[in-house]
Amino acid sequence: MVTLKDIAAEAGVSITTVSNVVHNRSSRVSPELVAKIRSIIDREHYVPSMTARTLVNDESYIIGVISHITPQNIGSTMSDPFLGSFVEGIEFRTREEGYFLMIRSVEDARALESLRRSWKLSGVILTGVFEDDFFAGVRNLGIPFVLIDSYIDAPDVYNIGLEDEKGGYLATKHLLENGHRVIAFASPSIRAGGVVEQRLIGYKRALKEYGVPFDPSLVYTQEIFVEEGKRLGHKLAAKPEITGIFASADILAAGIMTGLREKGVLVPRDKSIIGFDDNYLCRLTNPCLTTIHQDAEQKGYLAVDMLLSQFRNEPLAERSVILPVTLIERESVRNLNKQ
């Protein structure tokens, strides 16, 4: 079996140069030399040994995508379509850089530390993290990490976030502009310092701007699984005074729409609804769902870049990146002003 040493000898370069080309770290190697080395690699069908890499570097070249399970969100990490798009961006970037991907849910800091030791993770990308004991455990891992959609403000934290408050504001404002005044807010449990709270703040800001008092009874919280959404749709179908609904996730909006339809309440004829994320579900619902767009794939891509910068001790201009949101109008909102 051909080795790095064999390839280096044939190419007339150092083993380090070959290793850099193999792992896509070839910025300081001439294009001609890169082409020569890759030609030898392809001809010899060379595949890097994960065991050897681990023994030499005491790391596995595995990046973990970790979802922190809390009592409020127990379930499959990949059941949310947003996470599928997000992981797609991560997988593409890790594959480019010669790393491998592990997707896992953990309940506490002890389980995370056990995972790190067992697999010698190079770094982790974490969702669902608040400033609590679990986060303290993350800091103690001793490996680079990036938080996703976290509102933890600390000088040593790398984070990829979103204009969550603006998204809640744009969704609610759109319903208000179309004549809706009794608007439900639907989301998973609202925790201080999280994205859902920010989207609720945006909802409240839009109501205040239009002179509509905030009514806590219009806030509905439950898990974002489709069946939970359907049950909420059944409940909302019995409340004709509610003409507009802002759901903080598309999967929740899709479930609500199904539940409404099962009770004979149609969107947008009887109720209008807006989601959040702009994943593929928006184009599969009937009618197609108006929503708040975020670029989930770009979020994953940037998260890997932040990890790579930490691996290489490269300075970053910003430790926190906030991605923009936009309103995507489709067919699920009725203009009551034109009745």
Give just the sign of the alpha carbon dihedral 160, 163, 164, 167. negative
**Residue 220 pLDDT > 90, yes or no?**
yes
* Residues 331 and 198 placed together within one structural domain of the fold: yes
Place of tokens 């909302």: 236
pLDDT for residue 114: 92
Task: State the greatest distance between any 2 C-alpha atoms of the chain, in Å, as a whole number.
Answer: 79
Distance CA 242, CA 36 (A): 67
Q: Are residues 209 and 334 in the same domain?
A: yes
> Whole domain around residue 177: which residue ranges?
164-294+327-338
Question: Which of these, 276, 338, 267, lies nearest to 149 by C-alpha position?
Answer: 276
Is 306 found in the same domain as 274?
no
pLDDT in tens, 73-117: 444 455 677 788 899 999 999 988 888 899 988 989 999 999 998
Residues 236 and 221 both lie in one domain: yes
Q: What is the number of domains present in the chain?
A: 3
Q: Which of 233, 246, 232, 146 is nearest to 196 (CA)?
A: 246
The region, left, alpha or beta by phi > 0 then psi within -120 to 50, assigned to residue 14 is beta
DSSP 249: S
CA angle 332, 280, 333 (to 5 degrees): 10
* Measured distance CA(168)–CA(206) in Å, rounded: 8
Judge whether residue 250 has pLDDT over 90: yes
The two structure tokens encoding residue 281: 């579900």
Read off the pTM.
Answer: 0.83
Whether 170 and 229 map to the same domain: the answer is yes
First-to-last CA distance in the chain? 76
CATH classification at residue 92: 3.40.50.2300
Tell me what pLDDT residue 58 has: 53
Rounded CA-CA distance 46/35 in Å is: 15
The predicted structure's pLDDT at residue 135: 94
Pairing of the two strands 326-328 and 219-221: unpaired
